[in-house]
Amino acid sequence: MAFGFVEACEVIYAFICVLGFVFNFMVIYVIFCCISSKSRSRLTSRTILSLALCDLLATLNLPFFIASMSNGWSFSSSLCKLFTFTLILEQFAKTFLLSLLGLTSVAQYRGSVYNLTTAKITILLGSIWTSSFVLALTFASLTSPNLNCDLFLSYDFAFKETFTFTYTICVLFLPIMILSLLLHQSRSEPFEPTESVIELFELTIGLLSVHITLSLGHVIGTWITTFSKVPPGIPEPAWKVQWIMVSGIIWCSLRFVFPIIYTYFWTEFRKGLIAIFTDSLEYRPMARYENSKGPL
């Protein structure tokens, strides 16, 4: 029964890996090839591009995780460090990018829009990636490879506490605060009720809501593994393993759910995606989007 459960999880993870890779590759392709350079240089497009890169990075990690589910980590310790580093980098960068998108949406909704040049946008996104890189490098350097190269099952309890608190604040509490701000702002009318402002507002609420909902179980699993310590040599309880597996599957599904949300809420992206499959002049970016307007 246990083998069947793990095997089923491996198949689901593999399915998520394929969908996540294809969907996020399509997001990157559409942004670069099917959206005008003017729109592509805005903060919204570049932030979503960074989000797609985060999901693509996490998707590329999944094959190593799948390979180690049944028989443990069989790769080198250096690759284990790299695996842990990229996993943490993706999580923190994604949360900070969502927060940036949320604050941008609130600013547009209130009419407090500043002239963000390409250089300023690059500095903003560069700061997010740099801070995420430093956090990921710090935590990854403190881990030591164990049977499954699993950050959360490490027996360094002091480190686990520090990581768990930091992870929970950044990955769960920060998005909840930003979402609460957006929902509070939605009670009032937008300063300039244009289609682009409302679209970004709804897109951000959708992304944050899904992120919080699908990440909640994974965060709870992190707390369970942190504060229900099992001595070395004793197998983890079956319920804990099953919780980690199932919550991990739900959490990893964000890799292909986010592109679906882009398609539903972001009109410009949706039309660019249609252009790939229809190859119609009606949807050519230079014909449709070059004159698109919007502050960001």
Backbone angles phi, psi at 264, to 5 degrees: -75, -45
Q: What is the pTM of this model?
A: 0.85
User: Is the distance from CB of 37 to CB of 31 less than 8 angstroms?
Assistant: no
Task: DSSP letter for 191, please.
Answer: S
Residue 160, both tokens:
């686990």
Indicate if the alpha-carbon torsion angle 30, 115, 171, 57 is positive or negative.
positive
Q: How far is CA 154 from the centre of its chain?
A: 24
Distances (CA, A) of 19 to 25, 46, 251, 252, 260: 10, 22, 14, 11, 11
pLDDT digits (tens, 9 = 90+) for 153-180: 444 545 677 888 888 999 999 999 999 9
Instruction: Look at residue 288 in the predicted model and tell me its pLDDT.
Output: 42
The answer for residues whose C-beta is within 8 angstroms of residue 189's C-beta and 6 or more apart is none
In a domain, 261, yes or no: yes
Number of folded domains that form the chain: 1
For residue 48, give the CATH number of its domain: 1.20.1070.10
The mean per-residue pLDDT over the stretch 201-228 comes to 90
Instruction: Look at residue 44 in the predicted model and tell me its pLDDT.
Output: 85
User: Is the distance from CB of 16 to CB of 255 less than 8 angstroms?
Assistant: yes
Indicate if the alpha-carbon torsion angle 6, 10, 13, 15 is positive or negative.
negative
Per-residue pLDDT band at 41 (split at 50, 70, 90): low
In a domain, 296, yes or no: no
The mean per-residue pLDDT over the stretch 48-64 comes to 91
Q: How far is CA 230 from the centre of its chain?
A: 30
In a domain, 39, yes or no: yes
In a domain, 188, yes or no: yes
In a domain, 294, yes or no: no
Helix (H, G, I), strand (E, B) or coil at 186: coil
pLDDT digits (tens, 9 = 90+) for 79-126: 888 888 888 899 999 999 999 999 888 888 877 666 667 788 889 999
In a domain, 295, yes or no: no
Instruction: Look at residue 141 in the predicted model and tell me its pLDDT.
Output: 77
User: What is the distance between the alpha carbons of residues 108 and 86, in angstroms, rounded to a whole number?
Assistant: 32
Distances (CA, A) of 120 to 48, 109, 117, 278: 16, 20, 5, 36
Instruction: Look at residue 128 in the predicted model and tell me its pLDDT.
Output: 94
In a domain, 154, yes or no: yes
Domain range holding 181? Answer: 2-288
In a domain, 15, yes or no: yes
